[in-house]
Chain A
Amino acid sequence: MKYMLMMTSTTDGFEGYRAWPQNDVQTHYAYLKGINEALTESGEFVDTHGLAWPTEAKVVRAGKSGAPITDGVFPESKEFLAGYWIVEVASPERAYEIAARISAGPGPDGEPLNMPIEVRQVMS
Protein backbone atom coordinates (compact mmCIF):
# COMPACT_ATOMS: atom_id res chain seq x y z
CA MET A 1 0.00 0.00 0.00
CA LYS A 2 1.37 3.36 -0.99
CA TYR A 3 0.79 6.32 1.32
CA MET A 4 1.56 9.99 0.91
CA LEU A 5 2.77 11.90 3.98
CA MET A 6 2.29 15.63 3.57
CA MET A 7 3.83 18.54 5.43
CA THR A 8 1.82 21.71 4.98
CA SER A 9 1.79 25.22 6.36
CA THR A 10 0.31 28.66 5.87
CA THR A 11 2.47 31.54 4.63
CA ASP A 12 2.91 32.59 8.30
CA GLY A 13 4.30 29.17 9.15
CA PHE A 14 6.83 29.42 6.31
CA GLU A 15 7.91 32.86 7.54
CA GLY A 16 8.43 31.43 11.04
CA TYR A 17 10.60 28.68 9.58
CA ARG A 18 12.64 31.21 7.63
CA ALA A 19 13.56 32.89 10.93
CA TRP A 20 15.08 29.69 12.44
CA PRO A 21 18.79 29.90 13.26
CA GLN A 22 20.86 28.06 10.65
CA ASN A 23 21.96 25.51 13.23
CA ASP A 24 18.38 24.45 13.93
CA VAL A 25 17.63 24.19 10.22
CA GLN A 26 20.68 21.97 9.72
CA THR A 27 19.66 19.73 12.64
CA HIS A 28 16.16 19.44 11.16
CA TYR A 29 17.50 18.51 7.71
CA ALA A 30 19.90 15.96 9.19
CA TYR A 31 16.97 14.37 11.07
CA LEU A 32 14.87 14.12 7.89
CA LYS A 33 17.85 12.75 5.96
CA GLY A 34 18.18 10.04 8.63
CA ILE A 35 14.50 9.11 8.13
CA ASN A 36 15.02 8.92 4.36
CA GLU A 37 18.00 6.61 4.86
CA ALA A 38 16.10 4.37 7.28
CA LEU A 39 13.14 4.13 4.84
CA THR A 40 15.49 3.31 1.97
CA GLU A 41 17.10 0.54 4.04
CA SER A 42 13.72 -0.94 5.02
CA GLY A 43 12.60 -0.84 1.37
CA GLU A 44 9.66 1.45 2.19
CA PHE A 45 10.97 4.58 0.46
CA VAL A 46 9.26 5.54 -2.82
CA ASP A 47 9.76 9.27 -3.24
CA THR A 48 10.24 12.56 -1.46
CA HIS A 49 10.21 16.13 -2.69
CA GLY A 50 10.38 19.55 -1.13
CA LEU A 51 8.58 22.38 -2.85
CA ALA A 52 9.60 25.96 -3.55
CA TRP A 53 8.32 28.65 -1.16
CA PRO A 54 4.64 29.64 -1.35
CA THR A 55 5.72 33.05 -2.67
CA GLU A 56 6.65 31.16 -5.87
CA ALA A 57 3.26 29.43 -6.14
CA LYS A 58 0.93 30.20 -9.02
CA VAL A 59 -2.57 29.05 -9.67
CA VAL A 60 -3.15 28.38 -13.34
CA ARG A 61 -6.36 28.10 -15.33
CA ALA A 62 -6.92 27.80 -19.03
CA GLY A 63 -8.51 30.90 -20.54
CA LYS A 64 -11.09 30.71 -23.32
CA SER A 65 -8.32 30.32 -25.91
CA GLY A 66 -6.71 27.57 -23.83
CA ALA A 67 -3.74 29.84 -22.98
CA PRO A 68 -2.71 29.84 -19.30
CA ILE A 69 -4.01 32.55 -16.96
CA THR A 70 -1.71 32.67 -13.93
CA ASP A 71 -2.44 34.22 -10.57
CA GLY A 72 -0.27 34.34 -7.46
CA VAL A 73 -2.79 35.58 -4.91
CA PHE A 74 -4.02 33.10 -2.31
CA PRO A 75 -6.20 33.48 0.80
CA GLU A 76 -4.13 33.96 3.99
CA SER A 77 -5.60 30.76 5.42
CA LYS A 78 -4.33 28.68 2.48
CA GLU A 79 -2.24 25.70 3.52
CA PHE A 80 0.64 25.22 1.13
CA LEU A 81 2.30 21.87 0.62
CA ALA A 82 5.88 22.23 1.89
CA GLY A 83 7.03 18.74 1.02
CA TYR A 84 5.96 15.13 0.95
CA TRP A 85 7.06 11.52 1.19
CA ILE A 86 5.53 8.54 -0.58
CA VAL A 87 6.12 5.28 1.26
CA GLU A 88 5.22 1.69 0.43
CA VAL A 89 4.10 0.04 3.66
CA ALA A 90 2.27 -3.08 4.85
CA SER A 91 -0.43 -1.23 6.81
CA PRO A 92 -1.86 2.24 7.42
CA GLU A 93 -0.54 1.98 11.00
CA ARG A 94 3.00 1.76 9.69
CA ALA A 95 2.39 4.90 7.59
CA TYR A 96 1.15 6.68 10.75
CA GLU A 97 4.28 5.54 12.62
CA ILE A 98 6.54 7.02 9.95
CA ALA A 99 4.44 10.21 9.94
CA ALA A 100 4.91 10.46 13.73
CA ARG A 101 8.68 10.21 13.28
CA ILE A 102 8.60 13.05 10.76
CA SER A 103 6.27 14.97 13.09
CA ALA A 104 8.78 14.69 15.95
CA GLY A 105 11.56 16.35 13.93
CA PRO A 106 13.60 18.87 15.92
CA GLY A 107 12.73 22.56 15.76
CA PRO A 108 14.27 25.61 17.42
CA ASP A 109 16.59 24.55 20.30
CA GLY A 110 16.21 20.93 19.26
CA GLU A 111 12.71 20.60 20.73
CA PRO A 112 10.45 18.15 18.84
CA LEU A 113 8.07 20.10 16.59
CA ASN A 114 5.31 17.47 16.76
CA MET A 115 3.90 19.11 13.65
CA PRO A 116 0.80 17.72 11.93
CA ILE A 117 1.44 15.42 8.96
CA GLU A 118 -1.45 14.53 6.69
CA VAL A 119 -1.53 10.90 5.61
CA ARG A 120 -3.55 9.49 2.74
CA GLN A 121 -3.35 6.44 0.51
CA VAL A 122 -2.10 6.88 -3.04
CA MET A 123 -4.22 5.02 -5.58
CA SER A 124 -2.63 2.83 -8.20
Chain B
Amino acid sequence: MKHILMMSGTKADFEWYKNWSKEDLLAQIAFMQSFNKELKDAGVLVAAEGLDFPSQAKVVHAGADGRPVTDGVFPESKEFLAGFWIIDVDTPEQAYKIAARASTAPGPKDRGNMPIEVRAVMSGPPPEFL
Protein backbone atom coordinates (compact mmCIF):
# COMPACT_ATOMS: atom_id res chain seq x y z
CA MET B 1 0.00 0.00 0.00
CA LYS B 2 1.42 3.29 -1.07
CA HIS B 3 1.15 6.13 1.42
CA ILE B 4 2.08 9.79 1.18
CA LEU B 5 3.73 11.55 4.15
CA MET B 6 3.32 15.31 3.94
CA MET B 7 5.10 18.14 5.74
CA SER B 8 3.32 21.46 5.51
CA GLY B 9 3.29 24.87 7.13
CA THR B 10 1.87 28.37 6.93
CA LYS B 11 3.92 31.28 5.57
CA ALA B 12 4.74 32.19 9.18
CA ASP B 13 6.14 28.66 9.73
CA PHE B 14 8.33 29.00 6.63
CA GLU B 15 9.60 32.39 7.87
CA TRP B 16 10.47 30.77 11.19
CA TYR B 17 12.35 28.04 9.32
CA LYS B 18 14.29 30.65 7.33
CA ASN B 19 15.66 32.00 10.62
CA TRP B 20 17.09 28.73 11.92
CA SER B 21 20.77 28.80 12.80
CA LYS B 22 23.13 27.18 10.32
CA GLU B 23 23.87 24.49 12.88
CA ASP B 24 20.17 23.58 13.22
CA LEU B 25 19.73 23.53 9.43
CA LEU B 26 22.74 21.28 8.92
CA ALA B 27 21.48 18.88 11.61
CA GLN B 28 18.10 18.72 9.88
CA ILE B 29 19.61 18.12 6.45
CA ALA B 30 21.81 15.35 7.85
CA PHE B 31 18.75 13.74 9.48
CA MET B 32 16.75 13.87 6.24
CA GLN B 33 19.60 12.42 4.21
CA SER B 34 20.10 9.47 6.52
CA PHE B 35 16.32 8.97 6.89
CA ASN B 36 15.91 8.85 3.09
CA LYS B 37 18.82 6.45 2.76
CA GLU B 38 17.32 4.19 5.39
CA LEU B 39 13.94 4.14 3.58
CA LYS B 40 15.70 3.45 0.30
CA ASP B 41 17.79 0.62 1.79
CA ALA B 42 14.62 -0.89 3.30
CA GLY B 43 13.06 -0.83 -0.19
CA VAL B 44 10.04 1.27 0.86
CA LEU B 45 10.92 4.63 -0.67
CA VAL B 46 8.97 5.45 -3.85
CA ALA B 47 9.59 9.20 -4.09
CA ALA B 48 10.69 12.14 -1.98
CA GLU B 49 10.44 15.77 -3.07
CA GLY B 50 10.86 19.18 -1.53
CA LEU B 51 9.05 22.25 -2.81
CA ASP B 52 10.09 25.85 -3.29
CA PHE B 53 9.10 28.46 -0.69
CA PRO B 54 5.42 29.58 -0.61
CA SER B 55 6.44 33.06 -1.80
CA GLN B 56 6.95 31.38 -5.20
CA ALA B 57 3.56 29.64 -5.21
CA LYS B 58 0.93 30.57 -7.77
CA VAL B 59 -2.65 29.52 -7.98
CA VAL B 60 -3.78 29.01 -11.54
CA HIS B 61 -7.21 28.65 -13.01
CA ALA B 62 -8.44 28.62 -16.57
CA GLY B 63 -10.06 31.85 -17.70
CA ALA B 64 -13.17 31.88 -19.92
CA ASP B 65 -10.96 31.30 -23.00
CA GLY B 66 -9.06 28.47 -21.30
CA ARG B 67 -5.89 30.53 -20.82
CA PRO B 68 -4.13 30.51 -17.45
CA VAL B 69 -5.04 33.20 -14.94
CA THR B 70 -2.34 33.26 -12.24
CA ASP B 71 -2.53 34.74 -8.79
CA GLY B 72 -0.03 34.67 -5.94
CA VAL B 73 -2.21 35.80 -3.06
CA PHE B 74 -3.23 33.23 -0.46
CA PRO B 75 -5.04 33.50 2.89
CA GLU B 76 -2.66 33.77 5.84
CA SER B 77 -4.01 30.55 7.30
CA LYS B 78 -3.13 28.56 4.17
CA GLU B 79 -0.96 25.53 4.79
CA PHE B 80 1.61 25.07 2.06
CA LEU B 81 3.12 21.71 1.26
CA ALA B 82 6.83 21.86 2.08
CA GLY B 83 7.76 18.39 0.97
CA PHE B 84 6.59 14.80 0.88
CA TRP B 85 7.61 11.17 0.81
CA ILE B 86 5.75 8.34 -0.91
CA ILE B 87 6.43 4.99 0.70
CA ASP B 88 5.21 1.51 -0.16
CA VAL B 89 4.46 -0.44 3.03
CA ASP B 90 2.27 -3.41 4.04
CA THR B 91 0.07 -1.64 6.59
CA PRO B 92 -1.03 1.90 7.53
CA GLU B 93 0.60 1.31 10.94
CA GLN B 94 4.00 0.97 9.27
CA ALA B 95 3.34 4.26 7.47
CA TYR B 96 2.50 5.91 10.82
CA LYS B 97 5.70 4.55 12.36
CA ILE B 98 7.79 5.98 9.55
CA ALA B 99 5.88 9.29 9.80
CA ALA B 100 6.70 9.38 13.51
CA ARG B 101 10.39 9.04 12.62
CA ALA B 102 10.10 11.96 10.18
CA SER B 103 8.29 13.87 12.91
CA THR B 104 11.41 13.72 15.11
CA ALA B 105 13.61 15.59 12.59
CA PRO B 106 15.80 17.90 14.64
CA GLY B 107 15.23 21.65 14.79
CA PRO B 108 15.25 24.47 17.31
CA LYS B 109 13.80 22.94 20.43
CA ASP B 110 10.93 25.38 20.95
CA ARG B 111 8.27 23.59 18.93
CA GLY B 112 8.44 19.88 19.64
CA ASN B 113 7.92 17.15 17.07
CA MET B 114 6.38 18.26 13.79
CA PRO B 115 3.03 16.96 12.50
CA ILE B 116 3.11 14.76 9.39
CA GLU B 117 -0.08 14.13 7.43
CA VAL B 118 -0.43 10.56 6.22
CA ARG B 119 -2.83 9.27 3.57
CA ALA B 120 -3.02 6.29 1.22
CA VAL B 121 -2.20 6.99 -2.41
CA MET B 122 -4.52 5.48 -5.00
CA SER B 123 -3.10 3.54 -7.91
CA GLY B 124 -5.95 4.67 -10.15
CA PRO B 125 -9.53 5.84 -10.08
CA PRO B 126 -11.96 3.63 -8.12
CA PRO B 127 -13.19 0.81 -10.43
CA GLU B 128 -16.81 2.00 -10.24
CA PHE B 129 -15.73 5.22 -11.95
CA LEU B 130 -14.38 3.47 -15.05
Contact = CB atoms under 8 A, between A and B. Distances in A.
A118 interface: yes
Contacts of B115: 59-61
Contacts of B2: 49
Interface residues on A, range: 35 or more
A107 B91 CA distance: 34
Contacts of B56: 120-121
Given A51-B120, A61-B115, A62-B104, A123 B128 contact: no
B120 to A, nearest CB: 4
29 contacts: A22-B128, A25-B129, A29-B125, A47-B47, A51-B122, A56-B119, A56-B120, A57-B118, A59-B115, A60-B96, A60-B99, A60-B103, A61-B112, A62-B104, A68-B99, A81-B81, A92-B58, A96-B58, A100-B69, A101-B62, A103-B60, A103-B62, A103-B68, A119-B57, A119-B58, A120-B54, A122-B51, A123-B50, A123-B51
Interface of A: 4-6, 22, 25-26, 29, 47, 49-52, 54, 56-63, 66-70, 77-79, 81, 86, 92-93, 96-97, 99-101, 103-104, 112, 114-123
